[in-house]
Structure 1
Amino acid sequence: MQDLEIYVRDLEPGSVSDWLESQLDEVQLDDADVARVVKGQGRYGSAGIRITLYPGASGKRFTSILLEGESLPWSSDLACARSAWRAMDTEIRCSPGEWKEGDPVEDDKWWRLDHRGEQLVVWS
C-alpha cells in the first residue's frame, strides 16, 4: 500500500476534487466544506484510492491531504506536491523523504512549493 501526504495552505473549497479529477480515473469527494475532515475515494486504473483531508494540520492554515492506494499517479510526496501546486497555485508542503510513522523527523526540513520555487525549509 502506497501513501502520499501533502499539506495545502489556505485550501479553497472544491480545489482538491478539481485537481484529482484531472489526475485520477474516478473521484468521489465532497470537499465543499474544507473546515472539517473530509473522506472520499477514487480510482487510478484498477486500483482504489482512499482520500482524506484533515484541516488544521500544522497550524490553522494548512490542510493535510492523504492519498492511500495500491497504485497512485505519483511516486513520491514531492511529485504529488508538484502536481497539486500546478493545479491549486497555493503553497504546498511535503516531507523530504520516505518518512514513516514513528521515524524521527530529521532537522524538521520540509519541501515548500510556492511562487518562489521549491525550497527545503524548517517548518515554523
Structure 2
Amino acid sequence: MQDLEIYIRDLEPGQLSHWLQAHLDELELDDASLDRPMLKGQGKASAQPVSISLYPGAMGRRYACLVLEGSELPWASDLACARSAWEALQIEVRCSPGGWQEGDPVADEKWWRLDQRGEQLVAWN
C-alpha cells in the first residue's frame, strides 16, 4: 500500500476533483464545499481502488491536506504528485521531501514548496 500526502494552499471548491479526474480512471469525490473538517472519496488507478482523504484547514487554515492511498497511484512520490497539482492548479503546493519520522524535531524539517517562484526546500513558517 502506497500513500501520498501533499498540502494545497487556498484550495477552491471543485479544483481538487477537476485535477484528479485527469489522473484517475474513476472518481467519486464531492468537493463542491470545503467547509467540513474532512472529505472522503474514492477512485481507481489501473483498476485498483484509491482512497482519497482531504482535510481542509490544515497547517494554519490556509492549506488543505490531501492523502491518497492505494496499491496503484498515478504518481510515485509526494513530490511528483505535488508537481502535478502545481501544474494543474497554479496555486502553492507543499510536500515533505521524505525521510521524516515521528519524533523527529519539527524545527529542522524542510518542505518542498512549489509555486510561481519554482521548487524550493523551505521551513514551513
1:8 aligns with 2:36: no
Cα distance in 1 between the residues matched to 2:99 and 2:28 = 27
Aligned partner of 1:46 in structure 2 is 47
Give % identity: 60
TM-score (norm 2): 0.93
Q: CA deviation at 1:56?
A: 1.4
Q: Which runs of 5+ in 1 are unaligned?
A: none
TM-score (norm 1): 0.94
Q: Give yes or no for contact 2:112–2:122 (8 Å, CA) kept in 1.
A: yes
Q: Give yes or no for contact 2:6–2:82 (8 Å, CA) kept in 1.
A: yes
Cα distance in 2 between the residues matched to 1:23 and 1:80 = 10
Cα distance in 1 between the residues matched to 2:31 and 2:14 = 5
Cα distance in 2 between the residues matched to 1:76 and 1:46 = 20
Letter in 2 for 1:95: S
Aligned partner of 1:35 in structure 2 is 35
1:94 aligns with 2:91: no
**Ranges of 4+ aligned residues in structure 1 off by more than 3 Å:** none
SS in 2 for 1:56: strand
Cα distance in 1 between the residues matched to 2:85 and 2:44 = 17
Q: Which runs of 5+ in 2 are unaligned?
A: none
